[in-house]
Amino acid sequence: MNGNTDRSGAPRRAAGWRATALGPALAMLSGSVFGQVLWSEEFNTGSAPDPVIWTHDLGAGGWGNSELQTYTDAPENARVEGGQLIITARETVSRGGRRSFTSARIKTQDKLTFKYATIEARIQVPNLRDGLWPAFWTLGNNFSQVGWPDCGEIDVLEMGSAAAIAAGLTNRRVQSTAHWEHNNGYAGYGLHRDMPTDLNGGFHVYRLEWTPDSLSTYIDGQWIWTMDIRPSACTDCEEFHQPHFLLLNMAVGGSFTGLYRANEITAPFPAEYRIDYIRVIDNGHTVLGGSAVSGGGSSSAHISAITPSVSGGGPNKRAVAAITVRDELGAPVSGASLTASFSGSHNEVVSGATDASGIAHLSTTVKNSTAAFKVCVDALSKPGLTYQPTQNIETCDVY
């Protein structure tokens, strides 16, 4: 949903991914409570999304998909009422006849994260025909550090695609897709399911099953899509083995819908996207975290990203690296001491500490007229945390 690339409704497959058959059995970790609801949002209190759990994304600009709406945090666009979250897309028509739209988009980034889980949501979509684009999806919790598609994305529910509109199935076609980085480019794979009746007539349960082996989605227990994420099948899919967060939104127009102008939108307004509940269920592999999870303190840390660069010019170039540290829940680790070795055009061992965003900014004192170096993390420490180098997304990088 949030990618900086057009969505045609027919995602591409990466060269490093292949479909394989998966057995129905799931391995259960020792000591886990399979099937237990670990966290739920029932929307039974307050009149707005709980700020302890949810953060609003705000503004316009198309959101990387040429969307037409402006996202706000106004109660007219997002409210809690009658035990439901209601995201409302609204239309305003100016005196000159110019149409504009508002809606809402909320997320649990850093507040509720999960790695591997069963995620269920009971949802009712409005009449989407045509131009509305509701979504229930996830992004990797390192999104702010690495961007899209490097963070990974799992679309549990998307509706209103251009292909569905063309087929006359706007209110019946449900699509699920994964998006990720592959060989420094974009990769995506998804499928859709066409239901026999319109989905905007009532509530339906949308479910994601995410294990170390696969991603699968369902509507009312009916299969939509599966993707094998084992290393043997998906050679560059580390995005789907790290913590993600939840997002809910309803866009107006954009690349997914194939409708780019306000006068092409024919869906009725106001349009209410209703969410009755969201539940995170232990599937034997689940790791839950974030600031909203009581007692969910972290115990380990790893390197989630290394970004080498250069400062200065001419003969005064310094080797620089921004090194991101996160805990096992996907949250940034501040105040961690880090040591890294630079080699090549710049040979120096540099130490520093991570800031509030979990990033250590290291720079050599050595200067050179050329810059062709490698930087590797040698050590990481913080009281109360154990450095787990085997969990590093990368330990070295090259400039």
* Residue 369 falls in which region: left (phi positive, over 0), alpha (psi -120 to 50) or beta: alpha
Last residue of a domain, one of 289, 313, 336: 289
Residues 259 and 339 in one domain: no
Residues 273 and 308 in one domain: no
Distance between CA atoms of residues 182 and 274, nearest Å: 35
The answer, yes or no, to whether residue 6 has pLDDT greater than 70, is no
329 or 203: which leads in pLDDT: 203
Band (251; pLDDT cuts 50, 70, 90): very high
Are the C-beta atoms of 377 and 289 separated by less than 8 Å?
no
Q: How many CA atoms lie within 13 A of 156 on its CB side?
A: 28
Last residue of a domain, one of 289, 324, 357: 289
Model confidence over 7-41: pLDDT tens digits?
333 333 343 444 333 322 222 333 345 788 999 99
Identity of the residue numbered 81: E
**Structural domain contains residue 50:** yes
Is 41 labeled as catalytic in the residue annotation?
Answer: no
Residues 175 and 323 in one domain: no
**Structural domain contains residue 269:** yes
- Among residues 205, 210, 243, which one has the least CA distance to residue 227? 210
**Structural domain contains residue 1:** no
Residues 328 and 356 in one domain: yes
pLDDT for the residue 34: 73
Last residue of a domain, one of 247, 269, 289: 289
Residues 226 and 306 in one domain: no
**Structural domain contains residue 385:** yes
- Omega within 30 of 0 (cis) for the link into 270: yes
Residues 347 and 221 in one domain: no
pLDDT for the residue 137: 98
Residues 253 and 114 in one domain: yes
Distance between CA atoms of residues 12 and 122, nearest Å: 29
Residues 233 and 359 in one domain: no
What percent of the chain has pLDDT above 90?
80
**Structural domain contains residue 13:** no
CATH number at residue 389: 2.60.40.10
Are the C-beta atoms of 244 and 207 separated by less than 8 Å?
no
SS3 for 176-187 is: EEEEEEECCEEE
pLDDT (mean) for 81-88: 97
pLDDT for the residue 383: 77
Mean residue pLDDT across the chain: 90
CA 37 remoteness from chain centre: 21
Single pTM value for the model? 0.72
* Residue 228 falls in which region: left (phi positive, over 0), alpha (psi -120 to 50) or beta: beta
**Structural domain contains residue 27:** no
pLDDT for the residue 333: 87
pLDDT for the residue 210: 98
Distance between CA atoms of residues 30 and 3, nearest Å: 37
Band (58; pLDDT cuts 50, 70, 90): very high
Are the C-beta atoms of 122 and 277 separated by less than 8 Å?
yes
**CB atoms < 10 A from the CB of 394, how many?**
13
Strand partners, 83: none
**Structural domain contains residue 316:** yes
Task: Say which of 41, 67, 120, 153 is annotated catalytic.
Answer: 153
Write the DSSP symbol of residue 259: B
Domain total of the chain = 2
Task: Say which of 67, 158, 238, 328 is annotated catalytic.
Answer: 158
CATH number at residue 218: 2.60.120.200
Residues 255 and 319 in one domain: no
**Structural domain contains residue 248:** yes
pLDDT for the residue 19: 39
Structural domain range at position 245: 37-289
Write the DSSP symbol of residue 13: P
Residues 323 and 267 in one domain: no
With 0-12 / 13-18 / 19 or more C-beta atoms within 10 angstroms meaning exposed / middle / buried, residue 191 is: middle
The answer, yes or no, to whether residue 283 has pLDDT greater than 80, is yes
With 0-12 / 13-18 / 19 or more C-beta atoms within 10 angstroms meaning exposed / middle / buried, residue 97 is: exposed
Distance between CA atoms of residues 138 and 2, nearest Å: 10
Helices (H), 120-235: 143-146, 162-166
Residues 307 and 263 in one domain: no
Is 153 labeled as catalytic in the residue annotation?
Answer: yes
Residues 247 and 377 in one domain: no
